[in-house]
Amino acid sequence: MWSIRRRLLIVFLCISPCAAVHAQGLNWNEVEPGVWRGIAGKPEAYDLIKASGATANASALSKLPSVDFPIAKEAIHTQIIDGKTYLRFPLEKGEQIYGLGLNFQTIHQRGKVLQLHVDHFGGKDNGRTHAPVPFYVSSKGYGVFINTARYINMYVGSAVRKDSETPAVPKDRNTDKSWSSRPYSDAVEILVAAEGLEFFVFTGPKPIDAIKRYNLFMGGGPLPPRWGLGFTQRVKTLSTAADVEKEVSEFEKNGYPLDFVGLEPGWQSKAYPCTFEWDKGRYPDPKTFVKTMLDKGVRINLWTNPYVSPDAPFYKNILPYTGSHTVWNGVVPDLLTPQARDILFGQMQQDQVSLGVSGYKIDEVDGYDHYLWPDVATFPSGMSAEQMRQTYGVLMQRYSTEMFRKLNKRTYGLVRASNGGANAFPYVIYDDYYNHEDFITALINSGYSGVLWTPEVRASKTPEEWLRRMQTVVFSPMAMINAWSSSTKPWSFPEVAEQVKEMALLRMQMLPYWYSEFAKYHFEGMPPFRGMSLEEGFSTGVVKVKGNTNLEENPYAEAVSKEIKDQYMAGESLLVAPLFAGQTTRQVILPKGKWYDFFTGAYVGNGEVITVTPGLNKIPVYVKDGAVIPMMQPRLHVPGAKEKTDLEIRYYGEQPGHYMLYDDDGESYNYEKGQYSFREIRVEKQRDGGIKGQIAAAQKGMPNTIGKVTFKQMTK
Ligand code: GAL
């Protein structure tokens, strides 16, 4: 017999259409501390987490503060409509939404209509991008992840329901100047073409905590090998082994750092489609070539796309395990079949990785539609073309990383498509677009979405632009010149060659800092490059958005305070405020607390907007009070696994300084077995105005790459 309560509930469900919607079997389950799983209908078997194979770092998650479910559960609705799953999350007045993938022009996502769809960025933030990650973080301190490998339609605070609880008042356009074409909306609405959906809510309490939980839930960020954080140059297409050797010796001779070189199309016998074997003419002895480079401290990275040429040695073998359509006449390996994986990665392993090749640049896995299989394509695994497209970049990252893992070697490469769940893979996204400002906005957005992005430098019209671009790429996940078509070198503009060298060497000097910050990405989920909204004490106040009257006149204007997309946080303590070609002066918003100039140590301000005119040679970089920045001597290649490096630990301001310096062998996966240490650094100001610094002793039995340590007081 049904209980009275249950019968009453059924009556209630029948008379209340709203309740009937969320009565569709939406249940919540706390799967890790602060990570809630919601299920609507019957989710599909394949999703982003399955594609990536991501597993949570449960022990790191358990160290984050426990927080109650952040939204009223009854305000989250789900319904199956027309064979699709509809999901709705509430939005409050003043709430802002960040994330939803690698956007290039906007940080604030509230008010957007997006279709999250893997694609090459086409000049407009509409959801079609290299990493359309279905994760958003709210300024109210929680995150939402939609675990599907389908395209996703998102109405992010853009649509208005007639039963809205916080409706905007209708206005008369004829007479009322404050009429808006985009009335206030109080929900994020999501539609996915599947009869069920799994999704997650990540608690805060702060937005940064929700991001950390999201990253940790996917296994944490990648820990690149040390050399990955050095400097890299990609040489012109069709370069020969002799050309590369010559270029590498020019770097050495001219005193520019270089840790890995990228070979672009031309190392393979045929490309577009690819043969996955060395070209015997340009690379007659690849084994000796790779070894010669390694002996000089320079690793080799190889460009490829995954589309297999009829001339590839394994073409016939892989053919049965490829999709129905070709890309540039190359067959598309169905990476969801173990056979295709074994054949493709077997070839790469045997022909390249076993020679000491350090990694790949995986091109053309994103789109532009003409350059990919269409949605009507079929694959032997039975996976749909759509799901394949959403996850192909993820699968390439996953299985190529495995080749290196088998050898207990870390890799660090490039990829043009990614998605949610790929957070832990050691790949940096890049593209063909080339707008410096938008590259910085993308860098900021990468931190909201659990991906890495490089504002790569390719060419420039003027020495000024060249230097400005170089100044930012050294404050990014991959300091790279991609000269595949331009043939540029760091010294290509003699007017600024010395300044560029200084920046490239600064990158090397800062290696202990970058490496520790990536370790925090891996172990704590803290993104190394982040937007200002995540920074304690940051506020822009309510700034009216010019040219967007609908928002300007919106009664809930606090939701649209000005986007800050041209300054960002790099690691724990640095605020980077780039200048772009043509600019000589700019404003910088300093969060609350005292800030200091990174280069001079001078005090610059506290919770205010400053205007700076730094000159061409300088990129404005500021440091928090009490910041501790571990640096090493400038050098041309990162230190080897067993080498000891002297540190100069810089200290800024007045507050007691504290830093956790990460150390391991820099190359292997032994850190996963506990072979690493975080060494605590403390610095305090003394009565006499000087400083006293201490670093914890190296732990017995752990890798120790730290030599002599000195402390430098930057603020006098
Ligand atoms: C493009 C890629 C470039 C370069 C080029 C070589 O697709 O985005 O970075 O690798 O191919 O042909």
pLDDT at 21 over 90: no
Confidence tier at 178 by pLDDT (50, 70, 90): confident
Highest-pLDDT range among 93-97, 605-609, 654-658: 654-658
pLDDT per residue as tens digits for the range 569-610: 999 999 999 999 999 999 999 999 999 999 999 999 999 999
User: Which helix H or strand E contains 201, and what residues bound it?
Assistant: strand 196-203
Pairwise CA distance, residues 390 & 375, whole Å: 11
Pairwise CA distance, residues 424 & 54, whole Å: 8
Verify whether ligand 1 is closer than 6 Å to residue 456 (CB atom): no
| Helices 463-473, 436-449: crossing angle, 10 deg rounding | 10
Pairwise CA distance, residues 235 & 200, whole Å: 43
pLDDT per residue as tens digits for the range 487-537: 999 999 999 999 999 999 999 999 999 999 999 999 999 999 999 999 988
Q: What is the pLDDT of residue 689?
A: 93
Cβ burial 430-441 (10 Å sphere, 16+ → b, else e): bbeeeebbbbbb
Pairwise CA distance, residues 205 & 70, whole Å: 8
pLDDT per residue as tens digits for the range 159-173: 999 999 888 889 999
Verify whether ligand 1 is closer than 6 Å to residue 432 (CB atom): yes
Query: DSSP secondary-structure letter at 381?
Result: T
Verify whether ligand 1 is closer than 6 Å to residue 303 (CB atom): yes
Pairwise CA distance, residues 131 & 518, whole Å: 20
pLDDT at 644 over 60: yes
Q: Which residue's CA is the closest to the ligand 1 atom numbered 12?
A: 265
> Chain-wide mean pLDDT for the chain?
93
Q: What is the pLDDT of residue 180?
A: 86
Pairwise CA distance, residues 419 & 450, whole Å: 9
Q: Which of 130, 236, 264 has most ligand 1 atoms within 8 Å of CB, for mutation?
A: 264
Q: Which residue's CA is the closest to the ligand 1 atom numbered 3?
A: 432
Where do the DSSP E strands lie in 411-495?
A: 413-415, 427-429, 479-482
Confidence tier at 16 by pLDDT (50, 70, 90): very low
Q: What is the pTM of this model?
A: 0.94
Q: What is the pLDDT of residue 548?
A: 40
Which atom number of ligand 1 is nearest to the Cα of residue 361? 10
Q: What is the pLDDT of residue 540?
A: 63
Pairwise CA distance, residues 569 & 712, whole Å: 23
State mean pLDDT over 96-122. Answer: 96
> How far apart are the CA of 363 and the centre of ligand 1, in A?
7
Whose tokens are 């290039």? That residue is 104
Number of alpha carbons in the 13 Å side-chain half-sphere of residue 83: 1
Q: What is the pLDDT of residue 12?
A: 40
State mean pLDDT over 609-617. Answer: 96
Q: What is the pLDDT of residue 641?
A: 87
Verify whether ligand 1 is closer than 6 Å to residue 482 (CB atom): yes
**Percent of all residues in the chain with a pLDDT value above 70, rounded to a whole number:** 93
Other CB atoms closer than 10 Å to residue 691's CB: what's the count? Answer: 18
pLDDT at 543 over 70: no
Q: What is the pLDDT of residue 322?
A: 98
Of 491, 478, 500, 490, nearest in space to 230 by CA: 478
**Percent of all residues in the chain with a pLDDT value above 90, rounded to a whole number:** 89
pLDDT at 294 over 70: yes
Burial degree of 548 (CB within 10 A; 0-12, 13-18, 19+): middle
Q: Is residue 470 within 8 Å of residue 578, measured between CB atoms?
A: no
pLDDT per residue as tens digits for the range 344-369: 999 999 999 999 999 999 999 998 88
Q: What is the pLDDT of residue 703?
A: 95
Q: What is the pLDDT of residue 554?
A: 41
169 against 332, higher pLDDT: 332
Verify whether ligand 1 is closer than 6 Å to residue 267 (CB atom): no
State mean pLDDT over 109-134. Answer: 97
Whose tokens are 């050495």? That residue is 252
Residue 183's φ and ψ, nearest 5 degrees, are -65, 165
Verify whether ligand 1 is closer than 6 Å to residue 445 (CB atom): no
Q: Is residue 362 within 8 Å of residue 341, measured between CB atoms?
A: no
Verify whether ligand 1 is closer than 6 Å to residue 349 (CB atom): no
Q: What is the pLDDT of residue 166?
A: 86
Q: Which of 270, 272, 303 has most ligand 1 atoms within 8 Å of CB, for mutation?
A: 303
Q: What is the pLDDT of residue 637?
A: 98
pLDDT at 556 over 50: no
Q: What is the pLDDT of residue 628?
A: 98
